Amino acid sequence: MEASTEVVEDSQMDVDQCEEDKAKEEEDPFLNFVDLARSELLSLEDDSNRDDFDTSGYGWSWIVSHILKTCIAYSSGVTPAILLSELSQAWSEHRRIVVPKKRLELINHLKKNNRRTKLPNTVTIDSIYAKKFIALNSVLEAVIIDAYVLPGTNIHMLTLGDYWSSNIIDLYLHRSRFYDLAGLPSGILKKGREVLLTGCYLRTTAESSGHPRLLPTEYLVILLDENQDDDAMLLGAQFCSDSFSSISLEAVSNGASYSLYARIENIESAEIRGNFGTSQRKQITLVDGDGVALNFFLWSEQVLLANLFRVGCMLALDKPYVASSAECGIQTNEEFCLEYGSATQLYLVPYIQHEEQVCLTLTPNRHQGSKQIGSYNPTQGLKVSQVSLPCDSQGTIDFSNYPFRSFVTDLRDKMTGISLYGVVTEISKEDNTQKTVFSLRITDTSGEIRAKLHFTRLWSLGRVSLGHTVFISGLTCTALKRQKRLELSWFENGTGASFINLSCLPAMINSSCLYKVFQLSDISNQTFYAQVCRVWLVPNQYYYVNTRFSHSLCGHFVDEKTMKCSFCHVISDAEAVRSFHLKITLADKSAKVLAWCTGQTAMDLLQISPDEFCDLPEEEQLMYPSSLENEKFMVALVNCKREGCVTYDLLPDNSVSWEITRAYKYE
């Protein structure tokens, strides 16, 4: 399936605006470092091992995410060497997967027909050997290299390889679940069969006594290929006679069993509170060939199985446990549901995503996130490139691995996996819904767009306010036909979802490679990043400090009469903490600026906690500002009243435009 977008030549006015926007972006030290990191990573690549844009690998969003994750891990600050080392290590691991050194002949043959995309938690056999560890929720997408019985025992073993590793690993087969499938000469678990497994434990051994092996797991799914005669015959003979409509609870009570074949329509997670605590549940909605829907439930540790499923795949269930809805305690319209019973076998026909060729116009204010593209020159005309992106059957294009930065002006209907970098100009909670949803407006150099942030329970992103620079990944774009506009949606537990507030990140001000030092006279009202300045405090010019209650979850102030958070609108006493509201004059040799702050930043400037301050005698509180005079600090400033900001009740004082988001003392 191919689609292309019309390429329209920019007018001179557009080019001028483009140059202006590009100049703004080039000032951002963080984006400049992202460009540098991308250049360094691509320079590590052997040209023979990658395409022009390496769209099978990680894109602009991946690089930004890894830089920010490293910054979070090293809150005291990072150096270019630390960041590039962490990135190159992750990149090398990726290249080791994508371009392995050696292929087993059998896997090489099968790989020619493999068009599946990797599951989210997939690990490689090589990485298991390197780390000598495998997490319980890790997924192995494996090929059976050999099936055998240990000499002198009746223990069945599978030797597994994968498409990305040079190593192989042995698995002890689960006796009660899978011995029947491996014991016969024509057993389905044989050489060349593809399987998915999770819930594995690793048995490590001393070097002298052999290699690591995987202990038995109940969570193994056998892959089938409808284009292979044997698999097609199995599906036709075993799974086509029963349907959801043919299931009868009475027949089940008399010993009947079913073999069912259906498409995975939806996968949902839930926490179930019971008498003995909280348990996990996965609800998998299945639709059979007649269009009848039925729920397949996984409980407690069984939820690991859902890591092997993807919406759109065909699932064959042999002897699923049929339970009444009342027995399960499920409120549903259906009389019964399916569960993973002790005799259940699962087979999967994977959903293959089709690749769509998307023709993209790389204009300078939109896609100059990487200096690999080169500088924009109006005399050269517009540059056009093609990248291959996954597209599902509904026409939704996945931009998770898009090699360039996405801007607001690039967004279209049916785009998913989007990442945006910009400034918060409006944020508020939606009170007309039972769910926890916040509406955020994000602005970059190309425009602005509204995003709906969906949370499973409560706000969980810390303090986010006006003028803060944020990086959001895992966004989906939808066209609202009635309002005739686009809107983004973001789900807290969605695939690839992250939300990082760069303005409040400690490492950003502790890492000289990620900021540029400005004089106060040079700070701009309209930048898209926090501006860092070396200042001293001038409390005798203007100083105001007060202790107020703030909401521990979001960092915003609380109305002490109603105990209502100005941001979340609800709060309990246990979530209210004492915090500073500080307004103070900052100065350097060029100018003076009045700014405000709260939370940890105010404590860093005052060098005292709110509780300690309240315990001081009133005289000492009044004298306290004199102890701060001429104290030197590095501060990060954002304009919380920039053009386009909608304040609501978020700002404690509308007369002050600058917020100090981070600070540390220096000599």
For 400, the 3-state DSSP assignment is coil
The answer to whether 493 and 586 have CB atoms below 8 angstroms apart is no
The answer, yes or no, to whether residue 42 has pLDDT greater than 80, is no
Pick left, alpha or beta for residue 658 (phi over 0 → left; psi -120 to 50 → alpha; otherwise beta).
beta
In a domain, 59, yes or no: no
The reported pLDDT for the residue numbered 433 is: 79
Query: Within this chain, do residues 338 and 241 fall inside the same structural domain, yes or no?
Result: yes
Is pLDDT larger for residue 133 or for residue 152? 133
Nearest Cα to Cα of residue 652 among 596, 614, 578, 586: 596
The reported pLDDT for the residue numbered 26 is: 53
pLDDT band at 180 (very low <50, low <70, confident <90, very high): confident
Cα(567)–Cα(462) distance, integer angstroms: 11
pLDDT band at 382 (very low <50, low <70, confident <90, very high): very low
The reported pLDDT for the residue numbered 408 is: 95
The reported pLDDT for the residue numbered 12 is: 46
Q: Give me the CATH number covering residue 127.
A: 2.40.50.140
The answer, yes or no, to whether residue 544 has pLDDT greater than 70, is yes
Query: Within this chain, do residues 524 and 656 fall inside the same structural domain, yes or no?
Result: yes
Of the listed ranges 57-66, 128-137, 492-501, 650-659, the least confidently predicted one is 650-659
Is pLDDT larger for residue 12 or for residue 488? 488
Query: Within this chain, do residues 588 and 624 fall inside the same structural domain, yes or no?
Result: yes
Q: What tokens were used for 79? A: 């150096």
Is pLDDT larger for residue 233 or for residue 185? 233
Q: Which residues are 535's β-sheet partners?
A: 633
The reported pLDDT for the residue numbered 81 is: 87
pLDDT band at 52 (very low <50, low <70, confident <90, very high): very low
The answer, yes or no, to whether residue 88 has pLDDT greater than 90, is no
In a domain, 283, yes or no: yes
Is pLDDT larger for residue 629 or for residue 185? 629
How many CB atoms within 10 Å of residue 500?
Answer: 21
In a domain, 449, yes or no: yes
Per-residue DSSP letter, 244: G
Of the listed ranges 388-397, 459-468, 656-665, the least confidently predicted one is 388-397
The answer to whether 573 and 631 have CB atoms below 8 angstroms apart is no
The reported pLDDT for the residue numbered 360 is: 55
Which of 302, 323, 349 terminates a domain? The answer is 349
pTM of the model: 0.63
Query: Within this chain, do residues 379 and 498 fall inside the same structural domain, yes or no?
Result: yes
H or E element, residue 240: none
In a domain, 83, yes or no: no
Per-residue pLDDT tens digits for 384-436: 456 778 888 788 999 988 989 999 999 999 999 999 999 999 999 988 778 89
pLDDT band at 10 (very low <50, low <70, confident <90, very high): very low
Which of 206, 223, 240 terminates a domain? The answer is 223
The reported pLDDT for the residue numbered 505 is: 95
The DSSP line for 286-304 is: EEETTS-EEEEEEEGGGGG
In a domain, 652, yes or no: yes
Q: Are strands 531-537 and 576-587 parallel, antiparallel or unpaired?
A: antiparallel
In a domain, 28, yes or no: no
The reported pLDDT for the residue numbered 19 is: 53
Which of 170, 188, 223 terminates a domain? The answer is 223
The reported pLDDT for the residue numbered 197 is: 96
In a domain, 651, yes or no: yes
The answer, yes or no, to whether residue 190 has pLDDT greater than 90, is no
Average pLDDT for 322-340 = 82
pLDDT band at 44 (very low <50, low <70, confident <90, very high): low
The answer, yes or no, to whether residue 15 has pLDDT greater than 50, is no
Cα(77)–Cα(509) distance, integer angstroms: 8
The answer, yes or no, to whether residue 1 has pLDDT greater than 70, is no
Number of domains the chain contains: 4
Query: Within this chain, do residues 520 and 641 fall inside the same structural domain, yes or no?
Result: yes
Query: Within this chain, do residues 121 and 189 fall inside the same structural domain, yes or no?
Result: yes
Mean pLDDT over the full length of the chain? 83
Full residue range of the structural domain in which residue 126 is found: 116-223
For 328, the 3-state DSSP assignment is helix
Q: What type of residue is 378?
A: P
The answer, yes or no, to whether residue 373 has pLDDT greater than 70, is no
Query: Within this chain, do residues 492 and 389 fall inside the same structural domain, yes or no?
Result: yes
Per-residue pLDDT tens digits for 108-130: 767 666 667 788 899 999 899 98
Per-residue pLDDT tens digits for 338-351: 999 999 999 999 88
In a domain, 247, yes or no: yes
pLDDT band at 46 (very low <50, low <70, confident <90, very high): very low
If you average pLDDT over each of 269-273, 521-525, 605-609, which comes out highest?
Answer: 605-609
Cα(556)–Cα(549) distance, integer angstroms: 9
How many CB atoms within 10 Å of residue 373?
Answer: 17
The reported pLDDT for the residue numbered 650 is: 67
Per-residue DSSP letter, 15: H
Average pLDDT for 589-598 = 94
Go through 299-333 and write b for each residue having 16 or more CB atoms within 10 A of its CB, e for each that does not. eeebbbbbbbbbeebbbbbbebbbbebeebebeee
The reported pLDDT for the residue numbered 2 is: 36
For 189, the 3-state DSSP assignment is coil
Q: What tokens were used for 601? A: 């930043």
pLDDT band at 377 (very low <50, low <70, confident <90, very high): very low
| Rg, the chain, Cα only | 29
Nearest Cα to Cα of residue 467 among 230, 650, 201, 278: 650
Nearest Cα to Cα of residue 91 among 34, 36, 42, 31: 42
Q: What type of residue is 156?
A: H
The answer, yes or no, to whether residue 469 has pLDDT greater than 70, is yes
Query: Within this chain, do residues 215 and 239 fall inside the same structural domain, yes or no?
Result: no
The reported pLDDT for the residue numbered 17 is: 47
Query: Within this chain, do residues 257 and 143 fall inside the same structural domain, yes or no?
Result: no
Query: Within this chain, do residues 367 and 498 fall inside the same structural domain, yes or no?
Result: yes
Cα(476)–Cα(530) distance, integer angstroms: 27
Cα(58)–Cα(15) distance, integer angstroms: 30
Residues 6+ apart with CB under 8 A from 109: none
The DSSP line for 41-96 is: HHHTS-GGGS-SS-TTS--HHHHHHHHHHHHHH-TT---HHHHHHHHHHHHHHHHH
Q: What tokens were used for 333? A: 């319209």
Of the listed ranges 5-9, 387-391, 441-445, 465-469, the least confidently predicted one is 5-9
Q: Which residues are 427's β-sheet partners?
A: 440
The reported pLDDT for the residue numbered 23 is: 52
Query: Within this chain, do residues 135 and 243 fall inside the same structural domain, yes or no?
Result: no
The reported pLDDT for the residue numbered 655 is: 76
Average pLDDT for 219-242 = 91
Query: Within this chain, do residues 285 and 254 fall inside the same structural domain, yes or no?
Result: yes
The answer, yes or no, to whether residue 658 has pLDDT greater than 50, is yes
Q: Hey, which bits of 481-516 come out as E strands? A: 485-491, 498-501
The reported pLDDT for the residue numbered 559 is: 84
Q: What dihedral angle (degrees, nearest 10) is formed by the CA atoms of 647, 652, 658, 663?
A: -130
